[in-house]
Every structure is written in structure tokens, then in C-alpha cells.
Amino acid sequence: MPAPILSRRGWLLTVTLAVAGQRLSAHELDTTWPAERIVRTQISGVAVDSEGRVLVLNRGQNHWMPQGAFKRQKIKQPAVLVIDAATGRNVASWGANTFIMPHQIVVGPDGHVWIVDVGLHQAIEFDADGKKLRTIGGPKVRLNMPTDLAFLSDGSFIVSDGYVNSRVVKFSPEGRQLAAWGTKGARPLQFNVPHSVAVDDRDRIYVADRENDRIQILSAEGELLGEWTDVDRPVTVRFAAGSLFVLSNLDADKGIVRRLDLQGRVLDAFHTKPTGTTEDFEWPHGMAVADGGRDVYVGFTLTGRRVQRYRRAGSGDAPADRPRPP
């Protein structure tokens, strides 16, 4: 059944009902995680690998600020930091001198790690230890500042292609381009910065159409099934535990994560900046969902430059014996 078009009024109503029903604070900041400040660079992506470790994608010395250009040199530091989920400590790293402006990180069904780089105009596949396996993007496939990637059940995958081409591209498991959908604009099946992409367990594709404040839902064949409008700058979308998690950056440090059912109704939500804090939580950008939705990891770019874990309220097993990281 096609996903319904949810109007701005309907969207705001569901958020209001969530607040009235005291479901807004679905997750709370876990102040014990990470065990220490891992990095002080922009963190653009977060993923969880097949062993449950948290992969943190950072931009090293190559910062990207609004209305500004980024450096075109390779990042000297390791771009991928591997964090033990239980201890919150950095246990490995890789990816030095490999990327220019890494945008998102995704773990595929086979455990391989994919990183989408807007500066290289590529999606790059690595094994779990960081060995480069193949690259999508080049003379045969002209990606232009791609943003994200997601897998369908048959092993084919979707790349949101992104800041310039304003489309989504479907590839075979072998990396051959099968189709491309979309142009720049605000009409159905048009995009204005398709910033992220997710696929559910029925192979429906969810495109975070950031500057159009909506999510467009496509079939695996590119048919428009519906749209959820006025979703307040969706930055990252991830499907987990039967729900779509949507990270929105409303304005600077006003980030929110909403969990939606597959009809676009808000089930619960939480703000990425805790009430009353004076710490910098500016510009949430990357997100990963783990343990059936119990844990949500968010990475912050611009001046936030941190990764945090939010744990479902009332789960009762957040560690409490470690000091808060500086």
C-alpha cells in the first residue's frame, strides 16, 4: 500500500500528541559514553559494524562550514575510529590519507564498510579492517557530491547523489548502474539535496530530501509511493526495528531524532541537545541505530565535533560508574 502524504498540519499534530503523551523523551543522553572525548573534529557519520563496534567517521583537518568551501587535500589522520560499544573506548582506527570530505558511513549486509565522499565524488567499499575493495564513481558513473548509500534485499544498492546531481542512483551488487531517478526541484520525484537514503524490510526506499523538508518514498523500481512533507530538514534516515529513524537539524544546535512508523506517524522523539546544558551540540549530522532501537548514536559537525550515545529511557542498563567525558 502506498505510503500516505503527510501534510505539515498532520506532522505537527503527531508531534504535539507525542509531547502530550509524554513520549518526547524516548531516549536520554548517556553521559558515561564515550569514556573520553574521542576526537575534536567534525563527525559526519556513525555506523555499527557486524561485531557491534561503533564506527565514527571524522573529517580530520578538512572542516566544512556553511557557505564555505572545504580543503581538497587528503585527510592526514585516520578518518574511521572504531569504538568499543561497551567501554566507549577507541580500540582501532583506519583510513588515513584516503578521503577528502567523507560524508556518511554504512555497513553492508556482508559486513563490509562503505564510505561516501563528497570531495572524491565516490562511494568506496572496504572490508571490516579498512582494506579498500572497490570504488563506485568515475568515468563510467559520474557521481557529483554523493551523500549516502543503502542496500536492497537482493544486494543491489542505492546512492543518493546528492548536492549537485539531485538524484538517486541504483546499482547492481557488482556495481553496475541500473537506473537513476530524479532531477533538481520541488515537484514529486525531484530533489533539493537528497542528503540521506534508507531501505526498509519491504525494499521501499526513503530519501531525505533535505532542502524540500520532506521524505520521498520510492519502490525498488523507482516508482513514487508517497511523501512525508515538512519534515524539518531531514539530515539522516535509518531503518531499524521496523521503524524509520529520522535525524533533523532544525537550526544549529536544535537537532531532533524522530522514530516513525511506516505510514509516517511519529512514535516517539528526543532532542539531541539535552535541556539545560551549555555544552556544544551544534549541527547533528550522522546517526546509527543499534540493539533494536535501544541505542542511537549521533555525530556532530561544525563546532559540535563529538559523538554521543542516547539510550532508550527506562532501559535500566546504562553504565553509571564512569565519569562524564570532558
pLDDT per residue as tens digits for the range 177-220: 999 999 999 999 999 999 999 999 999 999 999 999 999 999 99
Residue 39: the pLDDT is 86
pLDDT per residue as tens digits for the range 114-159: 999 999 999 999 999 999 999 999 888 999 999 999 999 999 999 9
- In this predicted structure, the answer to whether residue 99 has a pLDDT above a threshold of 90 is yes
DSSP string, 149-213: EEE-TTS-EEEEE-SSS-EEEEE-TTS-EEEEE-EESSSTTEES-EEEEEE-TT--EEEEEGGGT
- In this structure, what is the dihedral angle of CA atoms 140, 146, 151, 154, given to the nearest 10 degrees? -20
pLDDT band with cut points at 50, 70 and 90 for residue 317: low
Residue 24: the pLDDT is 54
If you average pLDDT over residues 84-96, what whole number do you get?
A: 97
Q: Which residue has the cell 511506516?
A: 262
Residue 63 CA to residue 101 CA, distance in Å, equals 8
Question: Considering the chain, what percentage of its residues have pLDDT values greater than 90?
Answer: 78
Residue 163: the pLDDT is 96
Q: What does pTM read for this prediction?
A: 0.90
Helix (H) or strand (E) holding 93: strand 90-94
> Which structural domains are found in the chain, ordered by start?
8-311 (2.120.10.30)
**Euclidean distance between the first and final Cα of the chain, in Å?**
49
Residue 324 CA to residue 33 CA, distance in Å, equals 8
101: cell is 570530505
pLDDT per residue as tens digits for the range 2-39: 444 444 434 444 444 344 443 456 899 999 999 998 88
Residue 194 CA to residue 167 CA, distance in Å, equals 7
Task: Please state the separation of Cα 79 from the chain's center in Å.
Answer: 16
User: For residue 325, is the peptide bond before it cis, meaning its omega torsion is within 30 degrees of 0?
Assistant: no
Q: Higher model confidence: residue 91 or residue 314? A: 91
The whole-chain average pLDDT of the chain stands at 90
pLDDT per residue as tens digits for the range 273-297: 998 898 999 999 999 999 999 999 9
Residue 88: the pLDDT is 97
